[in-house]
Each structure stands twice: as C-alpha cells, then as structure tokens.
Amino acid sequence: MKVETLELLQKLQKKFGIKGTPSGPFGKIVQKLLALSLHEMGFTNIVERGVQGVDIDITSESNQKFAFEVKTTEKLSIPLTPDNVQALRDRTHDGYQPVIAVLRLAPFENWILAKIPMDEIPTGEMLIESLKPYGMEDLGSQLCPKFDIVVRKHFKDVYNRGEQYLKEQLRKVGIMAKD
C-alpha cells in the first residue's frame, strides 16, 4: 500500500472510524473498497455483506470460490470471533475456500490474503505475522495496486458521503451488497 493510500485511509478513519474498533463505518468502508478492487481484478459473483455472514464472496475466472473475512487494524494482531470462524465454515459447505483478508494501517503494509485450512483457523487474537505463511502472494500483489487506485479514485466522494456512496458504487458495477 502506498504512503498516499495510507494517508487517505487514515483521513477516512479519522472521520468514520472509532479508534481501536475494527468494525464500525470505517471497517465497512474498507471492506467495500476491497470489494471494488476485487471487481477491478476481474472477480465475478461478488457479494459484499454489511452484517451477517462472511464479509465478501468472490469467484475467480478459473471458477475458484473464495469467502473473505475482512479485518482492518492498526494493531499487530486481529481478533477472530467464533462467529467469524463459523461464518467461514458455513461458506465452505458451498464450495468456498476460507480467506482471512487483513490490512494493517501502517507504512509498507499490504493486504494479506491468507487462505487457511478451515481446521487451522483459531479463535481469539491472532498475530498478523502468523497469517503470512498462508498468504496468497500472487493475488495479494495484484490486489495492492488496484486497491491504491480504487482508494484514490473514490476518496473524495467517500469522505463527503461515506458508506452510502460506496453502496451505490457497488450496485453500479454489479456487486451484490447485502445489508
């Protein structure tokens, strides 16, 4: 993630986020920006959920299905609740591979897309570093520049109109946004 992207996200966090809470409007905003970035990457059948269940479902060109649990934090670890893990497990029944997508708001950090076997996903605090061995590096390296562009492109409108603007954008590009 570029320094500029970090700066813009921090501005959004300052306006929409409550420091120290991963959820809340800022977390949902980042989740929606991620969904738009995944769309830019060519993923289809994208479903973005604002409330229950996993955060994002996507399908790749080669018909691989991934279910994303999205986490945004400034800390070194993320909390994984039993609900998070259960939501991922539920999606595996429909053929989705569980992915924990983490973005740490710090210089030089990038999205980590960790594809962890279901039986290895713990609950509780998980060190972000521990996710790296499971990281889908190719996907991650493709995602990061797209995410930089998406953030820059939508920043002003998101800043002025918040999550509602992104909901409209998701619908506009054909992403199913479920509240």
Q: Using CB under 8 A, list all residues that contact another protein.
A: 2-4, 6-7, 76, 106-109, 127-130, 132-134
46/126 with CB nearer another protein: 126
Q: How far is the CB of 130 from another protein (least distance, A)?
A: 6
Q: How far is the CB of 169 from another protein (least distance, A)?
A: 21
Q: How far is the CB of 111 from another protein (least distance, A)?
A: 14
CB 158 within 8 Å of CB 36 = no
Give the span between the Cα atoms of 83 and 61, in whole angstroms. Answer: 29
Q: How far is the CB of 170 from another protein (least distance, A)?
A: 26
11/171 with CB nearer another protein: 11
2/65 with CB nearer another protein: 2
CB 55 within 8 Å of CB 70 = yes
Grouping H, G, I as helix, E, B as strand and the rest as coil, residue 174 is coil
Q: How far is the CB of 10 from another protein (least distance, A)?
A: 9
Give the span between the Cα atoms of 148 and 3, in whole angstroms. Answer: 9
**DSSP symbols for 20-71:** T-SSSHHHHHHHHHHHHHHHHTT-EEEEEESSSS-SEEEE-TT--EEEEEEE
118/176 with CB nearer another protein: 118
90/157 with CB nearer another protein: 157
CB 80 within 8 Å of CB 58 = no
